[in-house]
Amino acid sequence: MQTHWLALFRGINHGETDDVPMEKLETALSEKGLEGVRWHGRAGNVAFSSTTGSIELEELIKKTIAAEFQVRPRVVLIQKESFQNIVEENPFPEAPPDNVHVYFLRRSPVQPNFQQMERFKATDEQWILTDLALYLSTPVEFQKSQLAVRAERLLGVRCLPRTWTEVSEIRQLFD
């Protein structure tokens, strides 16, 4: 049975040594059997369909990128339905889109450090954790948020952030 997936990447197209032309990535992934490969943005947001399971897909994608482009990105895979649920459950719909960040989680956190998350949260920041996402509303610049820069470590699970503006654009991959 075909499953629709979204692959989010960290570690591509941010410098001189991690260049991955998205058109070439689309071709490489299609040649590996992924169907309907589409992408959005140079940061690495790729939608596709496959009958392969998530663990095998993650390895296939990482190995393909390493072999084709000599880059080793971090990858988080999300099923289309889960992505759509994350979009629908945005707890900060009234906040400016660039102030809302969604951390897409590789899996549900086992023991997130809530005490430290509250410690590093600025007084004007808010956060909500679900099984598949951390929503962070931060009026300050993202890189200046103490919680934002520590979120992955405090959650204890691989995750990749995107602004709500990016999430809204990525959503179009499934239209």
Residue ranges and CATH numbers for the domains of the chain are: 3-81 (3.30.70.1280), 89-174 (3.30.70)
Q: What pLDDT is recorded for position 29?
A: 97
**120 exposure class (CB count in 10 Å sphere: 0-12, 13-18, 19+):** middle
User: What pLDDT digit, counting tens, does each position of 120-175 carry?
Assistant: 999 999 999 999 999 999 988 888 999 999 999 999 999 999 999 999 999 999 87
What pLDDT sits at residue 43? 75
Strands 45-50 and 74-79 come out as unpaired
Query: What digits encode the pLDDT tens for the residues 108-126?
Result: 999 999 999 999 999 999 9
15: confidence class by pLDDT, cuts 50, 70, 90: low
d(CA 7, CA 1): 18
What is the distance between the alpha carbons of residues 23 and 82, in angstroms, rounded to a whole number? 26
Measure CA of the first residue to CA of the last residue in the chain; give whole Å.
Answer: 20
